[in-house]
Amino acid sequence: MDSLLANGTLNATLVSSDTYFGIYNELSKYNIQLNIFERLWATWYAYMQNDVLATGIMSFVMHEAVYFGRSIPWIIIDQIPYFNKYKLQGAKIPTMKEQWTCTKLVILSHFTVELPQIWLFHPMAKSCGMDTGVPFPAWQTMAIQIAIFFVLEDTWHYWMHRLFHWGFFYKNIHKIHHQYSAPFGLAAEYASPIETMVLGAGTVIIPIIWCLVTQNLHVLTMYLWITCRLFQAIDAHSGYDFPWSLHHFLPFWAGAEHHDVHHEQFIGNYASSFRWWDYVMDTESGPEAAKKRRERKQAKLAKKAQ
Ligand SMILES: [Zn+2]
Ligand SMILES: [Zn+2]
């Protein structure tokens, strides 16, 4: 309850019922200023009577729901011949057996590696001043913060991913993720636990540092950010590039077309969400980038010869 009452906006006379909707009705009577989502949220914390458990369960369920919820449409699309023409590596449709093998490892890692870390999240968030109460922040605040996290995470991801492609790290850590040279949605988190922790830090630790510095972050913003980031990662592994895919409208957005080449070629295209790091560092992958590189080299040589 501490977290909810901390900002003084919630009426304290609410917990005489012990069912979720009983609490919801009482809370609604005394807190008409809250919208329905804020009431559901506040009721959850009041009902649980244990903030660590309340955040932990909510985080884990959210992660599973978003991860598999977003992967299922891709599994269905794989079964529909109409979509084959949009598949980046044409003939390489993953079999159900492959997808099931991948799912088993992903679930195992969710329960053994991610669950204990999710449990540490609430105390860590609280100690750095993250807000878990109601009302929620304005959507504009959330949108700006999420955009900043996208840019920072992409930078972290680019350099760490590049590091993972160095001999020792590749052989011992990152090789697992490259088992599928034609990726599919579910393979987004198919990786060594060390990789999950290092690359996951870009998603979780960056907002925590942000919170420490600015003292302005709500855990809901964190959830929305993680949801967006999961969508980005799963879609990047989907193996499909549609005419309506985001990078056709936002040329700096990486998307599946960018990451699929990384899995196919094993080299280049290290960034997660955007294309600028690979462009600036000259690590773009694929035949088109190789052609441009060759042309640049020839132009340089011709200039030297003059
Ligand atoms: Zn890689
Ligand atoms: Zn990948």
Band (16; pLDDT cuts 50, 70, 90): low
Mean pLDDT of 16-35: 91
C-alpha of residue 28 to centroid of ligand 2, in Å: 45
C-alpha of residue 224 to centroid of ligand 1, in Å: 26
Tokens 């830090």 found at: 201
Rounded CA separation 37/136 (Å)? 9
Cβ atoms of 134 and 38 within 8 Å: the answer is yes
Cβ atoms of 207 and 253 within 8 Å: the answer is no
Which residues are paired to 274 by β-bridges? Answer: 253
Other CB atoms within a 10 A radius of the CB of residue 162 amount to 17
C-alpha of residue 215 to centroid of ligand 2, in Å: 33
Element holding 39 (H helix, E strand): helix 36-48
> Which ligand has the shortest distance to the CA of 233?
2
Cβ atoms of 268 and 165 within 8 Å: the answer is no
> Which ligand has the shortest distance to the CA of 272?
2
C-alpha of residue 153 to centroid of ligand 1, in Å: 16
| Residue 198 token pair | 């290092």
Mean pLDDT of 164-185: 95
- The CA distances from residue 254 to 6, 60, 249, in Å, are 41, 27, 11
H-only helix segments in 128-218: 139-164, 167-172, 193-214
> Which ligand has the shortest distance to the CA of 260?
2
- Mean pLDDT, the chain, rounded, equals 91
C-alpha of residue 71 to centroid of ligand 2, in Å: 14
> Which ligand has the shortest distance to the CA of 236?
2
C-alpha of residue 254 to centroid of ligand 1, in Å: 14
Tens of pLDDT, residues 71-106: 999 999 999 999 999 999 987 888 999 999 999 999
Task: State yes or no: pLDDT of 5 exceeds 60.
Answer: no
Cis peptide before 135 (omega within 30 of 0): yes
Cβ atoms of 105 and 195 within 8 Å: the answer is no
Pick from 103, 275, 64: nearest CA to 185: 103
Instruction: Please give the span between the terminal C-alpha atoms of the chain, in angstroms, as a whole number.
Output: 76
Q: What is the pLDDT of residue 304?
A: 84
Rounded CA separation 249/6 (Å)? 43
**For the chain, percent of residues with pLDDT exceeding 90:** 81
C-alpha of residue 226 to centroid of ligand 1, in Å: 21
> Which ligand has the shortest distance to the CA of 234?
2
| Residue 188 token pair | 């987004």
Tens of pLDDT, residues 58-70: 999 999 999 999 9
Other CB atoms within a 10 A radius of the CB of residue 71 amount to 24
Pick from 225, 193, 195: nearest CA to 207: 225
Q: What is the pLDDT of residue 10?
A: 57
Q: What is the pLDDT of residue 303?
A: 87
Q: What is the pLDDT of residue 2?
A: 43
Which residues are paired to 87 by β-bridges? Answer: 240
Q: Going by C-beta distance under 8 Å and a sequence separation of 6 or more, which residues neighbour residue 39?
A: 24, 27, 28, 31, 134
C-alpha of residue 37 to centroid of ligand 1, in Å: 39
Rounded to whole angstroms, the maximal C-alpha distance in the chain is: 87
Give all strands (DSSP E) within the chain, no chain letters.
none
Task: State yes or no: pLDDT of 11 exceeds 60.
Answer: no
Q: What is the pLDDT of residue 289?
A: 84
Task: State yes or no: pLDDT of 1 exceeds 70.
Answer: no
Mean pLDDT of 19-45: 94
Rounded CA separation 65/63 (Å)? 6
| Residue 67 token pair | 């991860």
Amino acid at 206: I
Q: What is the pLDDT of residue 15?
A: 59
Q: What is the pTM of this model?
A: 0.90
> Which ligand has the shortest distance to the CA of 187?
2
Q: What is the pLDDT of residue 7?
A: 45
